[in-house]
Amino acid sequence: MQPPELQRPLSRTELADLSECLANAPGAMRFSEAHGFLTAIASAPTTMMPSIWQQKVLGDRGFSTMEEAKHVIGLVMRLYNQIITALEEGTQVAPSGPDDDAIARWCTGYLRAAHMDDVWNDDERGAVFLFPMAVLSGEANLVGHTDSDGKVIEDPTPQLRRARERLDVTVREANRYWTAWRRKSIAPPVVAASQKVGRNERCPCGSGLKFKKCCALKN
């Protein structure tokens, strides 16, 4: 359980503080990229330890004091928790508005995190959620490809506008998909009614106990 302090949303002043810290750190992500990166980390099927993704976000930044390290890392953790809360509550996470460069950086960060997860990359449905990010980040070029009507795309402006408008919807759909996947992957196996388990056999729920001392007691 994290301390309550790390659950407190960042104020505007603190957001500006974190943005400045990242901008001045060698190899660190810009704030928009970091926000997209953390959004994908929060949604991904595989849990990544903070010690790994914090290094990706902060780059080669050094801290002169323990107080400074605690302050900056605390801001990053609170931003991460703020994103998790927004995903759980269904409020907007992805950026919107006219700043195409900020949206492109956000999508770049999202893709960077997603590409670190082998489960995400190997899942056909999961990969579908990444295509709009690839288009908006510039990683994928639509020119020369065919649209949904079979026409060759010469000007991708309509497709880019559509991807921007649906960006937050796509992010929340991806999060719901991987949340369901995680729940399914950790759920105990269901024993069919016709499948009989010996009382002295190991319980199929995976507890390691004999069936008679585990799930048989619940029947």
Tokens coding 19:
């943005």
5/173 Cα distance (integer angstroms)? 29
Tokens coding 17:
């503080």
Which residues are within 8 A (CB) of 190 and not within 5 positions of it... i.e. 6 or more apart? none
pLDDT, position 194: 41
pLDDT, position 9: 92
Which residues are within 8 A (CB) of 184 and not within 5 positions of it... i.e. 6 or more apart? none
213/43 Cα distance (integer angstroms)? 37
Cα-flanking dihedrals φ and ψ of residue 186, to 5°?
-105, -5
**Nearest alpha carbon to residue 62 among 26, 35, 116:** 26
| Residue ranges of the chain that CATH labels 1.20.120.740 | 4-186
Torsion sign over Cα 137, 128, 91, 76: negative
**Nearest alpha carbon to residue 94 among 121, 129, 65, 123:** 129
Mean pLDDT, 10 residues at a time, the chain of 219 residues: 81 96 92 98 95 91 87 95 95 91 97 96 94 94 85 90 95 96 75 56 60 58
200/202 Cα distance (integer angstroms)? 7
Reported as type and span, the H/E element at residue 164 is: helix 157-165
Residues in a beta bridge with 206: none
> Hey, how many other C-beta atoms are within 10 angstroms of the C-beta on 182?
16
pTM of the predicted protein model: 0.81
pLDDT, position 192: 46
CATH topology of domain 4-186: Four Helix Bundle (Hemerythrin (Met), subunit A) (1.20.120)
> Hey, how many other C-beta atoms are within 10 angstroms of the C-beta on 209?
14
16/18 Cα distance (integer angstroms)? 5
